[in-house]
Structure 1
Amino acid sequence: MTGSAWPQLPVEGWVDTRDTFTLWLQVVGKIRIARTPLLNHWWNAPLYLTGRGLTTSLMPDRPGRSFTIDLDLVAHRLDIVTTTGEAGSMALEPRSVRDFHAALMGRLDELDLATEIWPVPVEIPGAIPFVDDEVHHAYDAEAVTRFWRGMVETGRVLDVFRARFVGKSSPVHLFWGALDLATTRFSGRGAPPHPGGVPNCGPHVMHEAYSHEVSSAGYWPGGEEEGLFYSYAYPEPDGFRTCSPGPSAARFDEELGEFVLPYAAVRAADDPDAVLLDFLQSTYEAAATTARWDRAAVER
């Protein structure tokens, strides 16, 4: 297998669009949170990959009526579709976060789907409320499509990795706080309260997210070159960071507190899937071994 399916994702080339797009997705994701019951570890918050982009999946309105918000990242359109046949849409094009928020809330009002959200971004230092943000307004359609195509390839490999585990694991989903596509494995044991410190995320948010011991991995479109695959354990076991992360291009990043593998190293490999799976498996084994998981009970 060659890396031709894996698009180039130079961070520097789309950082303004990335930051705007992240904030748009935060608006969409907060609608999903407002409309759905809390699911363990905030699994009612993320978005999911589709054949055209991203979706909230079905959200309830009232008995007999539910709806989805879908982002078509090929035609660059946001669609709201109800199970009773109504629909609304808006173009994905250069516009401020303030305008995007107003337009989306307006479409929901027109469909009798008015939804109140907390209009402040999360996980962003010095965040500007959505209703005031005229700073972020970039939208490079080609770059967004490339990002989605990269996530399709990443998600495909994460699904293979997830299938090796029979214990509790999360879906492969896109967390819109930092725009990372991830899957998480659980040992089955509880974890100490998370120390917090994430911007605009109260202690209750992190306590719910990390209520149990985890090994988590995914892709984040930040950092160096074309973004990073990452893998971490919470709580971090003694000896974890000194374990081998698999591929020669992988390392432990002291600043992030995670193992990382450059996306560019995977994309350029003769067999990208094999390199990424090596990283995912090696770093999971580092977590499970040093934390003494009951591996025989949770691994296929």
Structure 2
Amino acid sequence: MTKSWPVLSYEKGKPTYETLQLWTQILGKIKLATLPWTNHSWNCTLHITPTGLSTQNIPYINKYFQIDLDFVSHQLCILTSLGENVNFDLRNLNVADFYKLIFEKLNELDIKIEILTMPSEIENPIHFEFDTVHKTYGVVQATNFHSALCNIQDVFMIFRKDFIGKSSPIHFFWGGFDLSLAFFSGEKAPKHPGKIPGMPDWVLQDAFSHEVSDFGFITGNEAYPEAAFYCYLYPEAKGYKEGKVMPAEAFYNEVLGQFILPYSAVQSSDNPEKKLLEFLRSTYAIGAKLANWKSDLWEQDRSFKNEISITI
């Protein structure tokens, strides 16, 4: 099947992305309030589904529940292990409306949860319950965003199969509003200085407790107003930024401290999957070599391990 990679415009999508980021933060904070802490904040991330983004399974007293942002039916859906299912439409809602509705629906299901209502990692934040500023849900933008995430996850999965060290899930961080995949060398890293707005220093220090090569996708932001793929190394090895990364459209952004590949370069390519894999593999190779990661963390040909015998 030939996959279609949608065009993403930060200029057109920005109002929708900003609203979605705040909605995803509410879902993430619900996970944060209910699940035990996992290193690198992996307990509270969201995950891609065929229809959108999901909290996945969350335990609560005598049942389990899951919250989904459905970008196909354009609804928020909550389902439980007792067969309960409630939802509401995502269109024409501001953040305050969304916050009010999701907790009304949870209360209907006898799920009583409290969260900190100040957004994270956002400058000039507004408490969720008072935010009537962010109120855009563009159906086209949300649909294209989801389609892009699905395609990107597929390529990340291919890339991930060759790394046999500690690896994160391919998951969505609601703080930075980015899809992320992290590889770890196994060695401890210098203490991170922290100092990101809206994030406690200890969270960053936990996230960067060990040497990491991080790969991801953003829809764009004020610092880089374009959808893009990124890769960075922590701690950054000497000579890293001068590395000859592939493909030709990729470059090192001094402000962000990351290698960047514009999403448009992948989307418009004759072979988007190949172009993105070139970026992921070349940035990993540069970082791993300069940081002296063990060579046996990367096992190039593991295709035989994908074969499943029908006799098993």
Shorter-chain TM range is over 0.9
Q: Give the 3-state SS of the residue equivalent to 1:88 in structure 2.
A: strand
Q: Could you say which residue in structure 2 is the equivalent of 1:252? A: 252
Match of 2:178 among 170, 174, 180: 180
Separation in 2, partners of 1:53, 1:60: 21
Separation in 1, partners of 2:225, 2:241: 23
Question: Contact between 2:118 and 2:128, CA under 8 Å: does it hold in 1?
Answer: yes
Q: Give the 3-state SS of the residue equivalent to 1:60 in structure 2.
A: strand
Tell me how large the CA RMSD over aligned residues is: 1.4
Q: Structure 1 vs Structure 2: percent identity of aligned residues?
A: 42
Structure 2 residue 114 is the aligned partner of structure 1 residue 116: yes
Separation in 2, partners of 1:97, 1:167: 40
Q: Give the 3-state SS of the residue equivalent to 1:261 in structure 2.
A: strand
Q: Give the 3-state SS of the residue equivalent to 1:5 in structure 2.
A: coil
Letter in 2 for 1:35: T
Separation in 1, partners of 2:246, 2:113: 46
- State the number of aligned residues: 298
Structure 2 residue 280 is the aligned partner of structure 1 residue 280: yes
Structure 2 residue 67 is the aligned partner of structure 1 residue 59: no
Letter in 2 for 1:245: V
Letter in 2 for 1:18: Y
Separation in 2, partners of 1:228, 1:181: 11
CA displacement at 1:110 relative to structure 2: 1.0
Q: Could you say which residue in structure 1 is the equivalent of 2:104? A: 106
Letter in 2 for 1:238: K
Question: Contact between 1:174 and 1:182, CA under 8 Å: does it hold in 2?
Answer: yes
Residues 17-28 of structure 1 aligned to structure 2 (within 5 Å): 17-28=16-27
Match of 2:169 among 151, 168, 171: 171
Question: Contact between 2:162 and 2:298, CA under 8 Å: does it hold in 1?
Answer: no
- CA deviations over 1:188-229 (Å, ceiling 9, x no partner): 011111111211101111011111110011110005574110
Structure 1 range deviating more: 87-96 or 232-241: 87-96
Structure 2, unmatched stretches of 5+, are 301-312
Q: Could you say which residue in structure 2 is the equivalent of 1:227? A: 227
Letter in 2 for 1:253: N
Residues 8-23 of structure 1 aligned to structure 2 (within 5 Å): 8-23=7-22
Separation in 1, partners of 2:291, 2:145: 34
Q: Could you say which residue in structure 2 is the equivalent of 1:35? A: 34
Separation in 1, partners of 2:15, 2:206: 31
Question: Contact between 2:16 and 2:138, CA under 8 Å: does it hold in 1?
Answer: yes
Letter in 2 for 1:47: L
Residues 75-94 of structure 1 aligned to structure 2 (within 5 Å): 75-94=73-92
Q: Could you say which residue in structure 1 is the equivalent of 2:44? A: 45
Question: How has the CA–CA distance of structure 1 residues 31 and 290 changed in structure 2, closer, same or farther, with 3 Å as cutoff?
Answer: same
Q: Could you say which residue in structure 2 is the equivalent of 1:130? A: 128
Residues 125-164 of structure 1 aligned to structure 2 (within 5 Å): 125-164=123-162
Structure 1, unmatched stretches of 5+, are none
Separation in 2, partners of 1:266, 1:282: 15
Separation in 2, partners of 1:94, 1:252: 39
TM-score by length of 2: 0.93
Separation in 2, partners of 1:157, 1:297: 19
Question: Contact between 1:47 and 1:56, CA under 8 Å: does it hold in 2?
Answer: yes
Question: Contact between 1:167 and 1:299, CA under 8 Å: does it hold in 2?
Answer: no
Question: Contact between 1:10 and 1:225, CA under 8 Å: does it hold in 2?
Answer: no
Select the structure with the greater relative contact order (CA < 8 A; seq sep ≥ 6): 1
- CA deviations over 1:97-132 (Å, ceiling 9, x no partner): 111111111111111111111111111111111111
CA displacement at 1:48 relative to structure 2: 0.7
Letter in 1 for 2:13: W
Q: Give the 3-state SS of the residue equivalent to 2:43 in structure 1.
A: coil
Letter in 2 for 1:17: T
Question: Contact between 2:237 and 2:287, CA under 8 Å: does it hold in 1?
Answer: yes
Separation in 2, partners of 1:95, 1:264: 30
Question: Contact between 1:185 and 1:216, CA under 8 Å: does it hold in 2?
Answer: yes
Question: Contact between 1:16 and 1:136, CA under 8 Å: does it hold in 2?
Answer: yes
Structure 1 range deviating more: 250-259 or 194-203: 194-203
Structure 2 residue 245 is the aligned partner of structure 1 residue 261: no
CA displacement at 1:299 relative to structure 2: 3.6
Question: Contact between 2:163 and 2:297, CA under 8 Å: does it hold in 1?
Answer: no
Letter in 1 for 2:241: R
